[in-house]
């Protein structure tokens, strides 16, 4: 995937335990990469794409991901599409899911206060306030919003990172109306998928974000002509 | 309270993974330098809207030097506007102020309409519209942005935050 991951644990524990927790997270992320990477010929996703593996023979995690992608495809009116590029590519689901799962495992191991950031998507939780910036969509040295959360996921999709095209499945072309969409909510898997879907919707994206707020997913979006929109409950830092 | 910060780089396939863990003091404020414009400032204040000279899709390549004191003396005092860097969806233009031969301030302007996709969003009742802010990253634990590849990470605010925390 070539994704950078940052992990911060705030726990009153000996160094070696913290190191071991981080090693567990890294082990899990490598396992996910080996199974789901579209850049590896031998991953289960690549093999399934070539028809060499069926959903009955694959790992239960891949079955879960395929089912979840199908659910999201229906829930987003086809805008979240693991087959948007013509071949199976569930990466848009896998990253958020892998980090959400890593966070769940850390909490289960007694490490309640932590954050994990992977490629710009963040899962933070615990007994402290985490201050999370939303990258300014034209200036990589600035932030457009500062958020304050204690237990939340923050996911951003944007058109400004080169090579990070999100295709609008209706037009077959890269989305261009919204430049950046950030979704904040209880689960990173969904927050990430919703942000990607809203971006893919082009002109309909803002209306979709409006609806998400009723499900507990707040949002911040910037249009390609530089206008900023936020939902009423966005946890902006004071 | 003990903290541990780790920045893990490289593909998640374990190739060339850089991996550091260190106990850190509470987060310090991270001074993030503003980037100087990619192009050398013109000798005289330039006209606005010089946005079409750079190649399309060119991102404003950040100058490695921080604006405050990064550029040596010998500059002419005044305010200078760099040529706009046009890329996929707009033009970014950086204005620097030179005082006593040194760069004392840098400001960037962003598209405010008209030079990118024209859209007519529907009447959005439940979303508040506001001007787009550009704040410094002081006092943040993390930054959420569109997917960062490892290459992009090295230049990112998140990298600066990770460094500052250990």
Asked if the C-beta of A158 comes within 8 angstroms of chain B's C-beta atoms, the answer is yes
Q: How confident is the model at residue B151 (pLDDT cuts 50, 70, 90)?
A: confident
Q: What pLDDT score does A65 carry?
A: 97
Across residues B46-69, what is the average pLDDT? 38
Bridge partners of residue A143, in order along the sequence? A135, B135
Across residues A72-82, what is the average pLDDT? 92
User: Nearest-CA neighbor of A120 among A96, A85, A152, A150?
Assistant: A96
Partners of A230 on chain B (C-beta within 8 Å) are 127-128, 130
For A81-85, B25-29, B49-53, B103-107, which range has the lowest pLDDT when averaged over its residues? B25-29
CA dist A186 and A203 (Å) reads 26
- Scanning B66-85 for CB atoms below 8 A from A yields none
CB contact under 8 A, A207 and B122: yes
Asked if the C-beta of A127 comes within 8 angstroms of chain B's C-beta atoms, the answer is no
Asked if the C-beta of B13 comes within 8 angstroms of chain A's C-beta atoms, the answer is yes
Q: What is the pLDDT of residues A148-157, one digit of tens each?
A: 999 999 999 9
Percent of chain B surpassing pLDDT 90: 8
CA dist A216 and B82 (Å) reads 43
Q: What pLDDT score does A122 carry?
A: 97
For A57-61, A143-147, A178-182, B63-67, which range has the lowest pLDDT when averaged over its residues? B63-67
pLDDT of B71 > 50? The answer is no
CB contact under 8 A, B137 and A143: yes
CA dist B97 and A156 (Å) reads 33
**A6 vs B93 pLDDT, higher one:** A6
- Scanning A53-82 for CB atoms below 8 A from B yields none
Q: Is the pTM here over 0.85, yes or no?
A: no
Percent of chain A surpassing pLDDT 70: 98
DSSP for chain A? --B-EEEEEE-SS-HHHHHHHHHHHHHHHHHHHHHH-TT-TTSHHHHHHTTS--TTTS-HHHHHHHHHHHHHHHHTTT-S-TTTTSS--THHHHHHHHHHHHHHHHHHTT--SEEEEETTEEEEESSSPEEEEEE-SS-TT-EEEEEEESSEEEEEEES-STT---EETTTTEE--SEEEEEEEES-HHHHHHHHHHHHHTGGGHHHHHHHHGGGT-EEEEEETTSEEEEETT--B--
pLDDT of B122 > 80? The answer is no
Q: How confident is the model at residue A13 (pLDDT cuts 50, 70, 90)?
A: confident
Asked if the C-beta of A126 comes within 8 angstroms of chain B's C-beta atoms, the answer is no
Across residues B20-42, what is the average pLDDT? 33
CA dist A75 and A215 (Å) reads 13
- Please state, as a whole number, how many other Cβ atoms lie within 10 Å of the Cβ of residue B1: 9
Nearest to B134 among A29, A39, A136 (CB): A136
CA dist B153 and B151 (Å) reads 5
pLDDT of B25 > 50? The answer is no
CB contact under 8 A, B13 and A37: yes
pLDDT of A185 > 80? The answer is yes
Asked if the C-beta of B1 comes within 8 angstroms of chain A's C-beta atoms, the answer is yes
């Amino acid at each position: 995937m070539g994704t950078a991951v940052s992990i911060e644990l705030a726990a009153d524990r000996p160094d070696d335990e913290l190191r071991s927790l981080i090693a567990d997270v890294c082990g899990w992320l490598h396992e996910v990469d080996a199974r789901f990477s579209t850049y590896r010929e031998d991953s289960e996703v690549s093999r399934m794409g070539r028809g060499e593996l069926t959903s009955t023979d694959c790992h239960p995690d891949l079955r879960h991901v395929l089912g979840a992608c199908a659910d999201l495809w229906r829930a987003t009116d086809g805008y979240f599409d693991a087959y948007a590029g013509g071949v199976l590519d569930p990466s848009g689901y896998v990253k958020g899911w892998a980090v959400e799962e890593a966070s769940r495992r850390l909490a289960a191991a007694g490490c309640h206060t932590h954050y994990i950031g992977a490629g710009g998507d963040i899962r933070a939780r615990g007994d402290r306030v985490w201050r999370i910036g939303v990258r300014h969509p034209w200036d990589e040295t600035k932030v457009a919003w500062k958020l304050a959360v204690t237990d939340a996921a923050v996911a951003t999709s944007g058109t400004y990172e080169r090579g990070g095209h999100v295709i609008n499945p209706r037009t077959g072309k890269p989305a261009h109306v919204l430049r950046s969409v950030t979704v904040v909510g209880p689960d990173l898997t969904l927050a990430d998928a919703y942000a990607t879907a809203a971006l893919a919707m082009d002109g309909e994206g803002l209306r979709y974000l409006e609806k998400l707020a009723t499900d507990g997913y707040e949002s911040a979006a910037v249009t390609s002509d530089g206008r900023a929109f936020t939902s009423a409950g966005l946890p902006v830092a004071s | 309270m003990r903290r541990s910060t780790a920045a893990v780089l490289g593909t998640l396939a374990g190739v060339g993974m850089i991996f550091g863990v260190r106990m850190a003091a509470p987060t310090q404020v991270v001074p993030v330098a503003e980037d100087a414009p990619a192009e050398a400032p013109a000798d005289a204040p330039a006209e606005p809207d010089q946005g079409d000279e750079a190649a399309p899709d060119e991102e404003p390549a950040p100058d490695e030097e921080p604006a405050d004191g990064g550029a040596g003396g010998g500059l002419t005092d005044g305010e200078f506007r760099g040529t706009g860097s046009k890329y996929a969806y707009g033009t970014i233009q950086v204005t620097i102020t030179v005082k006593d031969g040194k760069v004392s301030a840098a400001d960037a302007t962003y598209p405010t309409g008209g030079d990118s996709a024209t859209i007519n969003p529907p009447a959005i009742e439940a979303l508040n519209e506001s001007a787009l802010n550009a704040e410094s990253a002081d006092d943040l634990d993390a930054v959420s942005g569109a997917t960062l590849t490892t290459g992009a990470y090295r230049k990112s605010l998140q990298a600066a935050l990770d460094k500052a925390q250990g």
